[in-house]
Amino acid sequence: MTIELLVNIDVDDLARAERFYCEALGLSVGRRFGDGFVELLGACAKLYLLAKSAGSAIAPGAARTRNYDRHWTPVHLDIVVSDLDAAVRRAVAAGARPEGEVREGAYGRIAQFADPFGHGFCLIEFNEQGYDAIATT
């Protein structure tokens, strides 16, 4: 069995999101699916931006609605980069909001951000050991 990971990100302004992710991460537009859905390429997983207006229901019949203020979720993107300092500059220039200072770890360096739509993500520059430096098995 083969599994392919597709990442879907709800945004309230598709053009703004497309600009942000292309400028911040160097992704490029693949396909467009009507007015509310765009595919971004250039990462190991395809990233899809889905236009969903603020205040819209998160699922049919759901009482909760979408909110694009900074929010926390247990799922976020970790984006591995080869030059963290350059990646941080690029992300900030594109509109990412830093959440703390760059931190050093046994595996390398990490910087945390929120995108313009409230979604958290991290940029990670692994050292030669990467996560092997902290693996227990």
Within a domain: 76: yes
| Joined tokens for residue 58 | 């998160």
The reply to whether 59 falls in a domain is: no
pLDDT above 90 (res 41) = yes
**pLDDT tens-digit map of 122-132:** 999 999 999 99
pLDDT of 65? 93
Q: Per the structure, how many domains does the chain have? A: 1
- Tell me the per-residue pLDDT of 23-39, one tens digit each, with 9 for 90 and over: 999 999 999 999 999 99
Residue 36 domain boundaries: 6-54+69-133
Mean model confidence pLDDT for the chain = 95
The pLDDT assigned to 137 comes to 81
- The predicted pLDDT at position 87 comes to 97
Average pLDDT over residues 61-74: 89
Q: Is the residue at 1 inside a domain? A: no
pLDDT digits (tens, 9 = 90+) for 75-93: 889 999 999 999 999 999 9
- 100 domain-assigned: yes
Q: Does the residue 61 lie in any domain?
A: no
- CATH number of the domain within which 114 lies: 3.10.180.10
